[in-house]
Amino acid sequence: MSRYRGPRLRISRRLGDLPGLTRKKSNKLLPAGEHGQKSRKPSEYSLRLEEKQKLRFNYGLSEKQLLKNVKIAKKVQGSTGIVLLQILEMRLDNTIFRLGLAPTIPAARQIVNHGHITVNKKTVSICSYQCKPGDIITIKPQKSSTTLIKKYLSFPGLANIPNHLELDKNTLIAKVNGVVERDWVALELNELLVVEYYSKK
């Protein structure tokens, strides 16, 4: 299944607050659709599926991409769930979003795809590029690039920049100082349920 392009509020009403997907907030509390009105005790499978969908929609991944990242996380020493979150958080599109240079991850993805971003003085247009400690992220000095970023910077998606990133708003130069810690992941979810969901795959 390709990247989701449908109504975003519908997804956030069903899965809860997804800061990477949309900044809009719905006044309606129940999930969209006639089945959202019924309250049933969810099964264990539906709980795992919901947590997996939160991850997928927040970071804008296809099922194939998420499964690939889970397989990579399983090979790394440490807690698979936390390693998976670190892999997703260190993606270039998410890093741009967390720096406040874009209001949402889809907006950050567009900035990267259009070639406005350089990493270590090289243009990177691949959203899934894994940022590493020591990487220097800059905005191209073109007027169109700086105007767009300054417009987004005045209305950041999240209030705080995580402690593994730093940004100089005057020069628009950002630095990755380390790997994100679990406490700084903005998405509220139980990553163990995601690992359990994929354990049977």
Instruction: Round to whole Å and give the CA distance between 104 and 157.
Output: 6
pLDDT of the residue at 187:
80
User: Cα–Cα distance between 186 and 139 in angstroms, integer?
Assistant: 24
Q: Which of these, 12, 113, 117, lies nearest to 57 by C-alpha position?
A: 12
Nearest-10 crossing angle of helices 191-199, 63-75: 100
The pLDDT of residue 6 is 64
Q: Which pTM does this prediction carry?
A: 0.82
Average pLDDT for runs of 10 along the chain of length 201: 60 65 61 59 84 86 90 89 91 89 87 90 90 91 85 73 86 89 82 85 61
Domains of the chain plus CATH, in order, are: 8-87+187-199 (1.10.1050.10), 91-178 (3.10.290.10)
Closest CA to 93 of 83, 80, 102, 82: 102
